[in-house]
Amino acid sequence: MSSWLRGFARCGALLSLLLAPAVASHAAPYDTPALSFVDAGLYQVTLRVATGPSGAPSGFRVEWMTRNDYARLGGWPVTVDPALVYCAYVGAPTLNLWGASSFQLAPQSAAIIQPGDLFDETGIVTNAFDELKPGLEYVFRARAEGDATSGPSSYSALLSARTSGTAECTQGFWKNHPGLWPPDCTPMLLGTVLYSKADLLAIFGEPAVGNGLISLAHQLIATKLNVCNGSNPAPIAATIAAADAMIGALVCPPIGSGWLDPSATSPLTEQLDRYNNGKLGGVIDCPTSVRSSATWGRIKTLYR
């Protein structure tokens, strides 16, 4: 199924909120939110959306495309174009919890979002769950969504941001390059449960939809592959141990039916994600050919 169809299949319950601006087309618009850059990784950027005096009580919408596509189209397209990606943030997040607890924002408040890291997020409607591409410049804009009280705001000023050009190895890289996994890294322990490579790929393909165990497992698998690939474990060893302890004997979907509250897993998930995006140091370049400087047996001894 295409990413476009997956987006609507997973978030169909929120479509009525996305369509709300049409109902409020004659109402006074909400104030335009401000969009600012926080940081960037290989496959995502982190942005801050800050509301004005009227807030964004029905959520907000962010659109983006590559700078090259923006130049080719002569600006933002006035009709639907496959180069334009949108995400309506209209519900409650369960992955990135360091910002607002809801995307329905009060006046003079803010949310932190990560275009390119949407696969495990909730409370959104998007036409693409794809990661961003490394080393490219993107342009972004945002607006407050409309409802029966007020119309949608005008769009914010254009914001440019570039993904990292260094080859950090995120979950997206490992999920999409199974042929480059170091051969000694599987089977792999998550908690106390041993998984085959096929199991781990199935877990990578399972959307979290609010299950903290799945989003934590996604980042933990990527981290262990990075360490097995020769990355320095020192910045993340304690976090790996804490993640394994939290998972324990739970079996991750779709292999099993384990579940963890995302509010409990989010700090560990975020720290693992930062490591995998090269923000803590220690992660070596993603392999262009299989490279392993450590056997999985040696890696396991680091976390026991």
Domains of the chain: 3-162 (2.60.40.10), 171-301 (no CATH)
Lowest mean pLDDT among 69-73, 139-143, 182-186: 182-186
CA distance 189 to 221: 9
Cα 206-207-212 angle, rounded to 5 deg: 105
What is the side-by-side order of every strand in the sheet holding 85-89?
A: 124-126, 85-89, 60-66, 137-144, 159-162
Report helix, strand or coil for 136. Answer: coil
Q: What is the pLDDT averaged over residues 30-37?
A: 97
Is residue 47 classed exposed, middle or buried when 0-12, 13-18 and 19+ CB atoms within 10 A define those classes? Answer: buried
Q: What is the pLDDT averaged over residues 225-245?
A: 94
Identify the pLDDT of residue 282.
76
DSSP run (H or E) holding 140: strand 137-144
DSSP 29: B
Lowest mean pLDDT among 5-14, 49-58, 240-249: 5-14
Confidence class for position 277, pLDDT limits 50, 70, 90: confident
Identify the pLDDT of residue 66.
97
Confidence class for position 42, pLDDT limits 50, 70, 90: confident
Confidence class for position 1, pLDDT limits 50, 70, 90: very low
- Closest-CA residue to 226 (of 45, 40, 42, 39): 42
Contact 53, 31 (CB under 8 A): yes
Identify the pLDDT of residue 18.
46
Q: Is residue 48 scored above 60 in pLDDT?
A: yes
* Cβ neighbours for 241, distance < 8 A, ≥ 6 positions apart: 303
* Cβ neighbours for 20, distance < 8 A, ≥ 6 positions apart: 58, 145, 146, 147, 148
Report helix, strand or coil for 128. Answer: coil
Confidence class for position 15, pLDDT limits 50, 70, 90: very low
What digits encode the pLDDT tens for the residues 175-204? 988 999 988 899 999 999 999 999 999 999
Identify the pLDDT of residue 166.
61
Q: What is the pLDDT averaged over residues 140-154?
A: 96
Identify the pLDDT of residue 17.
46
Q: 10 Å Cβ neighbour count for 255?
A: 18
More confident residue, 276 or 18: 276
CA distance 215 to 204: 9
- Closest-CA residue to 31 (of 100, 139, 106): 106
Lowest mean pLDDT among 28-32, 207-211, 282-286: 282-286
Identify the pLDDT of residue 296.
36
Q: What is the pLDDT averaged over residues 269-283?
A: 85
The position carrying tokens 């000694």 is: 184
Cα atoms in the Cβ-side hemisphere of radius 13 Å centred on 284: 15
